[in-house]
Protein backbone atom coordinates (compact mmCIF):
# COMPACT_ATOMS: atom_id res chain seq x y z
CA UNK A 1 0.00 0.00 0.00
CA UNK A 2 1.54 3.35 -0.95
CA UNK A 3 2.64 5.51 1.96
CA UNK A 4 0.77 8.73 2.28
CA UNK A 5 3.00 11.68 3.11
CA UNK A 6 1.67 13.76 5.95
CA UNK A 7 3.23 17.07 5.10
CA UNK A 8 1.79 20.50 5.64
CA UNK A 9 2.47 22.50 2.48
CA UNK A 10 4.20 25.83 3.02
CA UNK A 11 2.32 28.72 1.47
CA UNK A 12 5.39 30.65 0.41
CA UNK A 13 3.51 33.42 -1.35
CA UNK A 14 1.94 34.79 1.81
CA UNK A 15 5.12 34.73 3.90
CA UNK A 16 7.53 37.63 4.32
CA UNK A 17 11.18 37.25 3.41
CA UNK A 18 12.08 37.01 7.09
CA UNK A 19 9.52 34.26 7.68
CA UNK A 20 10.80 32.38 4.65
CA UNK A 21 14.37 32.75 5.90
CA UNK A 22 13.36 31.26 9.25
CA UNK A 23 11.64 28.37 7.46
CA UNK A 24 14.65 27.89 5.15
CA UNK A 25 16.92 27.58 8.19
CA UNK A 26 15.02 24.42 9.15
CA UNK A 27 14.90 22.74 5.75
CA UNK A 28 17.18 21.29 3.07
CA UNK A 29 18.44 22.87 -0.13
CA UNK A 30 15.40 21.82 -2.16
CA UNK A 31 12.88 22.93 0.44
CA UNK A 32 10.05 25.25 -0.59
CA UNK A 33 11.22 28.21 1.52
CA UNK A 34 14.72 28.37 0.09
CA UNK A 35 13.39 27.78 -3.41
CA UNK A 36 10.95 30.66 -2.93
CA UNK A 37 13.77 32.91 -1.72
CA UNK A 38 15.83 32.05 -4.81
CA UNK A 39 12.83 32.96 -6.96
CA UNK A 40 12.26 36.23 -5.15
CA UNK A 41 15.85 37.38 -5.11
CA UNK A 42 17.41 35.99 -8.27
CA UNK A 43 16.88 39.14 -10.35
CA UNK A 44 18.00 41.54 -7.63
CA UNK A 45 21.12 39.51 -6.79
CA UNK A 46 21.97 39.04 -10.47
CA UNK A 47 21.54 42.77 -11.08
CA UNK A 48 23.90 43.68 -8.23
CA UNK A 49 26.47 41.14 -9.44
CA UNK A 50 26.21 42.46 -12.98
CA UNK A 51 26.69 46.04 -11.86
CA UNK A 52 29.69 45.15 -9.72
CA UNK A 53 31.35 42.67 -12.09
CA UNK A 54 30.40 44.12 -15.45
CA UNK A 55 29.62 41.04 -17.53
CA UNK A 56 26.92 38.40 -17.71
CA UNK A 57 29.10 35.34 -17.26
CA UNK A 58 30.75 36.57 -14.08
CA UNK A 59 27.44 37.94 -12.82
CA UNK A 60 25.73 34.58 -13.24
CA UNK A 61 28.60 32.75 -11.58
CA UNK A 62 28.74 35.20 -8.69
CA UNK A 63 24.96 35.20 -8.21
CA UNK A 64 24.98 31.41 -7.93
CA UNK A 65 27.78 31.67 -5.40
CA UNK A 66 25.73 34.21 -3.44
CA UNK A 67 22.82 31.78 -3.13
CA UNK A 68 25.15 28.96 -2.09
CA UNK A 69 26.49 31.22 0.67
CA UNK A 70 22.98 32.26 1.65
CA UNK A 71 22.05 28.61 2.04
CA UNK A 72 25.20 27.55 3.89
CA UNK A 73 24.97 30.54 6.26
CA UNK A 74 21.19 30.62 6.49
CA UNK A 75 21.33 30.08 10.24
CA UNK A 76 23.36 33.28 10.68
CA UNK A 77 20.59 35.65 9.72
CA UNK A 78 19.64 37.04 13.10
CA UNK A 79 16.84 39.31 11.97
CA UNK A 80 18.52 42.51 13.17
CA UNK A 81 18.22 43.99 9.68
CA UNK A 82 15.85 43.37 6.82
CA UNK A 83 16.49 40.11 5.03
CA UNK A 84 16.88 41.96 1.74
CA UNK A 85 19.69 44.09 3.21
CA UNK A 86 21.43 40.96 4.45
CA UNK A 87 21.15 39.34 1.01
CA UNK A 88 22.49 42.46 -0.68
CA UNK A 89 25.39 42.52 1.76
CA UNK A 90 26.28 38.91 0.95
CA UNK A 91 26.09 39.74 -2.77
CA UNK A 92 28.36 42.75 -2.40
CA UNK A 93 30.94 40.86 -0.34
CA UNK A 94 30.94 37.94 -2.78
CA UNK A 95 31.50 40.26 -5.74
CA UNK A 96 34.22 42.16 -3.92
CA UNK A 97 36.01 38.90 -3.20
CA UNK A 98 35.78 37.93 -6.87
CA UNK A 99 36.99 41.33 -8.05
CA UNK A 100 39.92 41.33 -5.62
CA UNK A 101 40.92 37.87 -6.83
CA UNK A 102 40.64 39.06 -10.42
CA UNK A 103 42.77 42.14 -9.68
CA UNK A 104 45.42 39.98 -8.04
CA UNK A 105 45.45 37.65 -11.04
CA UNK A 106 45.67 40.60 -13.43
CA UNK A 107 48.55 42.01 -11.47
CA UNK A 108 50.36 38.72 -11.79
CA UNK A 109 49.69 38.46 -15.48
CA UNK A 110 50.35 42.20 -15.96
CA UNK A 111 47.25 42.40 -18.11
CA UNK A 112 45.61 45.56 -16.85
CA UNK A 113 44.56 47.39 -19.98
CA UNK A 114 41.38 48.98 -18.57
CA UNK A 115 42.87 50.07 -15.31
CA UNK A 116 46.10 51.26 -16.76
CA UNK A 117 44.15 53.34 -19.27
CA UNK A 118 42.08 54.72 -16.43
CA UNK A 119 45.01 55.44 -14.19
CA UNK A 120 47.31 56.89 -16.79
CA UNK A 121 44.71 59.13 -18.36
CA UNK A 122 43.41 60.14 -14.99
CA UNK A 123 46.84 61.14 -13.89
CA UNK A 124 47.20 63.28 -17.00
CA UNK A 125 44.05 65.08 -16.06
CA UNK A 126 40.61 65.88 -17.24
CA UNK A 127 39.63 66.26 -20.84
CA UNK A 128 41.59 63.47 -22.43
CA UNK A 129 40.33 61.15 -19.76
CA UNK A 130 36.75 62.20 -20.25
CA UNK A 131 36.97 61.53 -23.95
CA UNK A 132 38.36 58.07 -23.46
CA UNK A 133 36.49 56.81 -20.42
CA UNK A 134 32.87 56.15 -19.71
CA UNK A 135 31.41 56.21 -16.22
CA UNK A 136 32.09 52.55 -15.29
CA UNK A 137 35.70 52.99 -16.36
CA UNK A 138 35.99 56.12 -14.25
CA UNK A 139 34.72 54.14 -11.29
CA UNK A 140 37.36 51.51 -11.98
CA UNK A 141 39.98 54.07 -10.99
CA UNK A 142 38.66 53.92 -7.41
CA UNK A 143 39.43 51.20 -4.93
CA UNK A 144 37.03 48.25 -4.83
CA UNK A 145 35.09 49.20 -1.71
CA UNK A 146 34.54 52.81 -2.77
CA UNK A 147 33.46 51.72 -6.22
CA UNK A 148 30.98 49.25 -4.75
CA UNK A 149 29.67 51.89 -2.32
CA UNK A 150 29.00 54.34 -5.14
CA UNK A 151 27.31 51.68 -7.26
CA UNK A 152 25.06 50.53 -4.42
CA UNK A 153 24.20 54.13 -3.57
CA UNK A 154 23.65 55.63 -7.00
CA UNK A 155 22.81 52.65 -9.21
CA UNK A 156 20.80 50.63 -6.69
CA UNK A 157 19.52 53.60 -4.70
CA UNK A 158 20.21 52.31 -1.18
CA UNK A 159 20.19 54.71 1.74
CA UNK A 160 23.10 55.15 4.14
CA UNK A 161 21.59 52.89 6.81
CA UNK A 162 21.35 49.99 4.39
CA UNK A 163 24.84 50.69 3.03
CA UNK A 164 26.24 50.71 6.56
CA UNK A 165 24.65 47.32 7.22
CA UNK A 166 25.89 45.85 3.91
CA UNK A 167 29.46 47.05 4.20
CA UNK A 168 29.81 46.59 7.96
CA UNK A 169 30.51 50.29 8.48
CA UNK A 170 28.92 53.04 10.53
CA UNK A 171 26.59 55.44 8.75
CA UNK A 172 29.05 58.30 9.19
CA UNK A 173 31.88 56.18 7.79
CA UNK A 174 29.73 55.41 4.75
CA UNK A 175 29.00 59.09 4.18
CA UNK A 176 32.66 59.92 4.58
CA UNK A 177 33.81 57.24 2.14
CA UNK A 178 31.28 58.22 -0.48
CA UNK A 179 32.14 61.86 -0.13
CA UNK A 180 35.85 61.13 -0.46
CA UNK A 181 35.29 58.85 -3.44
CA UNK A 182 33.32 61.60 -5.19
CA UNK A 183 36.06 64.05 -4.33
CA UNK A 184 38.63 61.76 -5.87
CA UNK A 185 36.55 61.44 -9.04
CA UNK A 186 36.19 65.22 -9.21
CA UNK A 187 39.94 65.64 -8.97
CA UNK A 188 40.58 63.05 -11.68
CA UNK A 189 37.79 64.13 -13.99
CA UNK A 190 37.23 67.82 -13.23
CA UNK A 191 34.94 68.43 -16.20
CA UNK A 192 32.20 66.35 -14.56
CA UNK A 193 30.08 67.09 -11.52
CA UNK A 194 30.16 64.01 -9.28
Chain contacts with other proteins (rule: CB under 8 A): 29-30, 35, 38-39, 42-43, 46-47, 50-51, 56, 60, 63-65, 67-68, 71-72, 130, 135-136, 150-151, 154-157, 182, 191-194
Q: Which is nearer to other proteins, 51 or 82 (CB)?
A: 51
- Residue nearer to other proteins on the CB measure, 154 or 160: 154
Q: How far is the CB of 85 from other proteins (least distance, A)?
A: 19
Min separation Cβ 192 and other proteins, Å: 5
Minimum distance between the CB of residue 124 and other proteins, rounded to whole angstroms?
19
Q: Which residues are within 8 A (CB) of 143 and not within 5 positions of it... i.e. 6 or more apart? A: none
User: CA triplet 62, 182, 156: central angle to 5 degrees?
Assistant: 40
How many residues in the chain?
194
Long-range Cβ contacts of 158-163 (<8 Å, 24+ apart): 158/88, 162/82, 162/85, 162/88
Q: How far is the CB of 129 from other proteins (least distance, A)?
A: 13
User: Considering just the CA atoms, what is the radius of gyration of the chain in Å?
Assistant: 20
Q: Indicate the residue among 93 and 182 with the shorter CB distance to other proteins.
A: 182
Burial of residue 2 (number of CB atoms within 10 Å: 0-12, 13-18, 19+): exposed
Q: Give the dihedral sign, CA 158/168/52/79.
A: negative
Nearer to other proteins, 1 or 41 (CB): 41
Q: Which is nearer to other proteins, 68 or 111 (CB)?
A: 68
Q: In whole angstroms, what is the distance from residue 187 CA to residue 122 CA?
A: 9
Which run of H or of E encompasses 184? Answer: helix 171-188
Residue 75 or 111: which CB sits closer to other proteins? Answer: 75
Give the contacts of 97 (CB within 8 A, at least 6 positions apart).
Answer: none
Amino acid sequence: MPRKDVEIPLDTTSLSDEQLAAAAAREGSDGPAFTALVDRYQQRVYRICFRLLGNEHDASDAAQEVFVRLFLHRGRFAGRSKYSTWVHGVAVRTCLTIRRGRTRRKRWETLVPEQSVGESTASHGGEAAAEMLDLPQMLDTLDEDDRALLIMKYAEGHNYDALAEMFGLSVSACKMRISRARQRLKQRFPEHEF
